[in-house]
Amino acid sequence: MAKPVLLVTRKLPDGVEARLAALFDARLNPNDEPWFRSGAEIARRATEAGAAGVLCAAGDPMNAETIAALPASVKIVTTFSVGVDHIALDACKARGIAVTHTPEVLSFATAECAFTLMLMAARRAGEGERMVRAGKWEGWAPTQLMGVTLQDKKLGVLGFGRIGRQLADMARGMQMEIHYHDVQRLPPELEKGATFHPTEDAFLGAIDVLSMHVPGGEGTRKWLNAARLAKMKKGALVVNTGRGPSVDDEALVAALASGHIRAAGLDVYDGEPKVHPGYFGLENVALLPHLGSATIETRDAMGARCIENLEALLIKGQNPPHRAA
């Protein structure tokens, strides 16, 4: 029996690609050529190949137009990510296309990234590294690049899901006090003593560090705006490893420039890979290139999740285990 044809939009870890090639007639993108940025090109390649499935990734334009242009042969779209806000779920549902993702395997790595950014922002690590590389460091000085310690600070986790709770566990090791805001309060065994704030105002006014872990979509777009930043303590820190569009960049740049926000650490951006140019002129912001899940172990595990889903539906004729829609 012929193997199901699978269109893979991005270069994936070698071991993942080898497994895909063994199970499927996999049409890979070994050089990560940028055709994946065009929904029309994704649909064209899927049609030309007679693809039964599409393995895409975060940022691929799997919008309603792309889904509508996919051939009737496509039965599943699986994404190499937890988030599915780049996929038109309603359009997939209308066509009977299953959508799957990769939950429960990248929480620790993304929390590590958030914790890294917290430390970079608090201890001015990016600024110091740039100083050394530029040959401008003249030796230790008592008042050089003084930051703030995280010890005894109040960490505010916006979105107390798997990633937020992993970050809270790490922060407890730094003797931080954990606060969170979410749509509802979690049971005590998940809170682990964290303080729940049912209102945004109480939450923002209480914390010293804000770490954002909210999903994408219009409901969270520019959530961190000028009004909410103004409610935070002077000298607070902001970290975002969730979704770039949830931050109003103009407002955050202004708050950083004025000193109301001491420093920020960002791993995701609105319209990435574009980055708001206002950040480049500021020393008090650490900028990472979307490294949240970028560990060997995590990316291999994400690939395994994709394969589980594809194998279940396309080879075994079963419901995929990690459906998003």
* Residues taking part in catalysis: 243, 272, 290
Query: 199 — phi, psi (to 5°)?
Result: -115, 145
State the residue for tokens 């909210």: 214
Distance CA 66, CA 19 (A): 27
Query: 76 — phi, psi (to 5°)?
Result: -150, 140
Tokens of 265: 């650490």
CB 213 within 8 A of CB 161: yes
CA distances from 288 to 170, 179, 291 (A): 20, 25, 7
Tokens of 181: 């805001």
CA distances from 12 to 19, 107, 159, 320 (A): 11, 19, 29, 21
CB 272 within 8 A of CB 244: yes
- Tell me the chain's radius of gyration from C-alpha atoms: 22
Query: 233 — phi, psi (to 5°)?
Result: -60, 145
304 closest CA partner among 107, 113, 104: 104
Angle separating helix axes 107-123 and 296-310, nearest 10 degrees: 150
The continuous run of DSSP H or E covering 6 comes out as strand 5-8
* Beta-sheet pairing, 5-8 with 25-27: parallel
Distance CA 323, CA 240 (A): 26
Distance CA 124, CA 127 (A): 5
